[in-house]
Structure 1
Amino acid sequence: MQALRIGTWNLASGRDGSGRSADAATLRAAVAGVDVDVLAVQEVDVGQPRSHGADQPAEVAAGLGARDWRFAAAVAGTPDPFRSWTPIEPPVLRGPDQAPSGPHYGIALLSRLPVRRWSVLPLGAGRAKLPLQAPDPRTGRNRWWWFPDEPRLAIAAELGHCTVVATHLSFAPHTALRQLVRLRRWCARLPGPVVLAGDLNLVGPVPARVFGAARLVSAPSYPATAPRVQLDHVLGPAGLDPQRPGAHRLALGDHRLVTVTVHPR
């Protein structure tokens, strides 16, 4: 029985507590001491002006020492608040042997262990819009925007003894619940045991009940500075014997890093 340490972290495009975007070296340094075998990362930029054009999944992998990784783009181009996103159909996984093909934004799954097979699942987008403060591209000043929901995705990494699935669900709870039910059906067809890690945008025990799994970490994770609710979860079947669960503040991201060690059979 091999222990596996799993984490999930919302990178927030590499922004620090003051909202400044980190360069590539700072991004690598932020994860250099993270003790995980597999890491799910959300809100990941590739070639975006706001994050110094960095290839963030590659930089996080370098800092983590990950042997393999995949990035799935939810948005092609530079996100803006004036339009709804067009899903990339079919969704494409990019790995370490492929160069970026323009600016993208999405999620990533990184592994220090060999991966037998990668797969991706599109989950669609909700119709709700979220009010957020962000810089006006014309003036640079912060203002309120109504941001459309982005297309959502899940990435699965089939390891030698289990499958880890990474995702970032909709900010609209009713849409996130529907996506989680779809994920549950998909995961039932993957080699088990299956562990789901990600920013599920659902609080407390709700996602574990809907997904039909055990809540392996119970700790507030958002906001990173003084967390009040748990949006970031690691879920898996009962019997994985979760050890050293916790939520840790890193120098970057607006959520805390959530980690746990499990013992898949």
Structure 2
Amino acid sequence: MRVATFNILNGRVPTDQHVDLVGFREAIRRLDVDVLAMQEVDHNQHRSDHADLTAIAAEAMGAPEHRFVAALSGSPGATWIASTGEEQPDAAAYGIALVSRFPVRGWRVVRLAPVPVRIPMRFSGRRLPELVRDEPRVAVVADVESPDGEVTVVNTHLSFIDWWNGRQLRRLVADIADDTGPVLLMGDLNMGPERATRLTGMTSGVQLLTYPAAGPNQQIDHVLVRGSVRTHRGEAVALPVSDHRALAVDVELLQHPV
């Protein structure tokens, strides 16, 4: 099976920040993967024409299984609050999504707390640091029944704050510790491959530069693997939308652990 992780930037074109739903559909079709992990996904947001980006991706893939999980509910600049998972299905929200052409036997959600206080951050062009508030994060875990067997697939988007995203990643790995079969952990981890593999004890399925899309100089998007998994033919794909390249790889589930 072929899988990919893609931070979609709400379906925006980074050169002028407009949402391009046609370009978004084309991007998903061009990827042509069986399982897709997406981050920065809008749901019923004004800035993305009130579209359900998860449903659009599922339709473009021909995928019957899909799940959007909100990290934040409401709209940016207005009622932007942490999601509880109890919101109405048509509520405006922002988060992550997992889309699969293969059956999913079960889903679960792992909520990852933000830094509890405002923290100073330095931004390009600013002389002094600014106090910023971290966002709540979330992960979705799916038990996917692929043609080669069942595999646990995890999608997440971790904090941009270095000393905190490591805590979030360890929390997530602890949650899937009892999954004894093959595991794929995908997403925008906001860290490089050496740190991601060290914190998880997992193997990088593909090491390619993914950010920024126009001339990538770092890899913060990952497909990590554990157990009886082998990966082939990885690529970082520049697409019509987003400031990230999508990271795609072929995954083979083996009969015996590697």
So what's the TM-score if we normalise by structure 1? 0.85
What does residue 141 of structure 1 align with?
none
What does residue 142 of structure 1 align with?
none
Can you give the 5+ residue segments of structure 2 that lack an aligned partner in the other structure?
125-129
Answer yes or no: is 1:8 the counterpart of 2:5. yes
Give SS of 2:173's match: helix
Alpha-carbon separation, structure 2, partners of 1:61 and 1:76:
22
What does residue 137 of structure 2 align with?
152
Alpha-carbon separation, structure 2, partners of 1:246 and 1:60:
20
Selected match of 1:30 from 11, 23, 27: 27
Shift of 1:8: 0.2
Tell me which amino acid in the other structure corresponds to 1:152.
Answer: R
Give SS of 1:184's match: helix
What does residue 69 of structure 2 align with?
72
- Counting only pairs closer than 5 Å after superposition, residues 89-104 of structure 1 correspond to structure 2 as 89=84, 91=85, 100-104=89-93
Alpha-carbon separation, structure 1, partners of 2:72 and 2:120:
16
Alpha-carbon separation, structure 2, partners of 1:131 and 1:21:
26
- Counting only pairs closer than 5 Å after superposition, residues 115-134 of structure 1 correspond to structure 2 as 115-126=104-115, 127=117, 128=119
Answer yes or no: is 1:237 the counterpart of 2:226. yes
Give SS of 1:159's match: strand
Tell me which amino acid in the other structure corresponds to 1:209.
Answer: R
Tell me which amino acid in the other structure corresponds to 1:240.
Answer: V
Deviations 1:27-48 (A, max 9, x none): 2122112121111000001111
- Counting only pairs closer than 5 Å after superposition, residues 126-205 of structure 1 correspond to structure 2 as 126=115, 127=117, 128=119, 148-160=133-145, 161-190=150-179, 192-205=181-194
Alpha-carbon separation, structure 1, partners of 2:123 and 2:48:
18
Equivalent residues, number: 244
Can you give the 5+ residue segments of structure 1 that lack an aligned partner in the other structure?
134-144
Alpha-carbon separation, structure 2, partners of 1:119 and 1:156:
5
Give SS of 1:33's match: helix
Answer yes or no: is 1:87 the counterpart of 2:49. no
What does residue 252 of structure 1 align with?
241
Alpha-carbon separation, structure 2, partners of 1:60 and 1:198:
16
Answer yes or no: is 1:208 the counterpart of 2:193. no
Give SS of 1:196's match: strand
Shift of 1:102: 2.1
Tell me which amino acid in the other structure corresponds to 2:199.
Answer: V
Give SS of 2:214's match: coil
Please provide the CA RMSD for this pair: 2.4
Shift of 1:79: 1.8
Give SS of 2:31's match: coil
C-alpha change, 1:131 and 1:36, in structure 2 (3 Å) is farther
Alpha-carbon separation, structure 2, partners of 1:191 and 1:68:
23
